[in-house]
Amino acid sequence: MVVQSVDRAIEILELLLREGEAGITEIADELGVHKSTASRLVYTLQARDLVEQHGDRGRFTIGIGMLRFAGAVTGQIDLARLGTPLCESLAEKLGETVNIAVLDGAVAINVSQARGTSAVAAQNWTGQRTPLHATSSGKVLLASMDEQDQERVLAGELTAYTPNTIVEPDELRTVLKRVAEDGYATCFEELEPGLHAVAVEVLGATGEVAAAFSASGPAYRLSRKRIRQIARELRAAAAELSGQLGYIN
């Protein structure tokens, strides 16, 4: 029941998301369609601002019209709707940046964020995808996967973002075991220099891990001792969110 041309248009969006930018010929090759077909599909997306062109040749990207949908999504999905107030109160309490992230294929995607009063980081992670292996949220989500899915991620490329990023599969396996035991995951300058983070799991109605709830801040403020304290706060908030999502312990 898939409408093929619509599916192709979505495939174009996914391609632009992956590649950053592409031209008509490249898009046609990737889709396995004729250039004129690709041109028309892109034209349709462009007419609605979902795709835009930077320059005359080859540089189509996701368009600014997509921004309109971001607020709608975060206002509507339960995790964002229910979790955002919790994010905000926790950010105020901790003074750090608090995020909720969910699994999206082989990456984590942030669906909610609130910044605390001490937060210096300018980055808004909402809607941004982050690598599973290099973030505290990602490790929580990885640890919750069945072994087959987990191995699939570990078999992929574990990109180094800093000298601290865990890129050895064996090391990551050990870390994930520890996450399961500790009930929280940490990240010490593995994604960005100077950035520490800690995350715990949020359970959905059926008891499966629905999301990761995390707090992040500069290394100088997030010592290992403080991280453990924050993990406790996160766990309490996560339990409340789990309850709101329908989980009964």
Residues forming the site for DNA (CB under 7 A): 1, 3-6, 8, 23-26, 33-37, 39-43, 56-58, 60
Given its own copies, DNA, none, residue 145, with its beta carbon under 5 to 8 Å by kind, binds none
Per-residue contact flags (x/-) with its own copies for residues 50 to 89, judged by CB under 8 A: x-x--------xxxxxxxxxxxxxxxxx--xxx-xx--x-
Burial of residue 202, with CB atoms counted within 10 A of its CB: 0-12 exposed, 13-18 middle, 19 or more buried? buried
Instruction: Give, in order, the Cα–Cα distances in Å from 80 to each of 84, 89, 94, 96.
Output: 5, 14, 20, 18
Of 24 and 195, nearer to DNA (C-beta) is: 24
Which amino acid makes up residue 208? Answer: E
Of 8 and 173, nearer to its own copies (C-beta) is: 8
- C-beta of 42: minimal distance to DNA in Å? 6
Of 45 and 202, nearer to its own copies (C-beta) is: 45
The length of the chain is 249
- Choices 48-56, 148-156, 177-185, 205-213 (CB under 8 A): range interacting with its own copies: 48-56
Q: Give CB contacts under 8 A, 24+ apart, made by 218-224.
A: 218/120, 218/121, 218/194, 219/188, 219/189, 219/194, 219/195, 220/194, 221/96, 221/118, 221/196, 222/96, 222/196, 222/197, 222/198
Q: Where are the beta strands (DSSP E) in 115-178?
A: 129-131
The site for its own copies (CB under 8 A) is made up of: 1-3, 5-7, 9-10, 13-14, 16-17, 20-21, 39-41, 43-45, 47-50, 52, 61-77, 80-82, 84-85, 88, 102, 104, 109-111, 113, 115, 119, 122-124, 126-129, 244
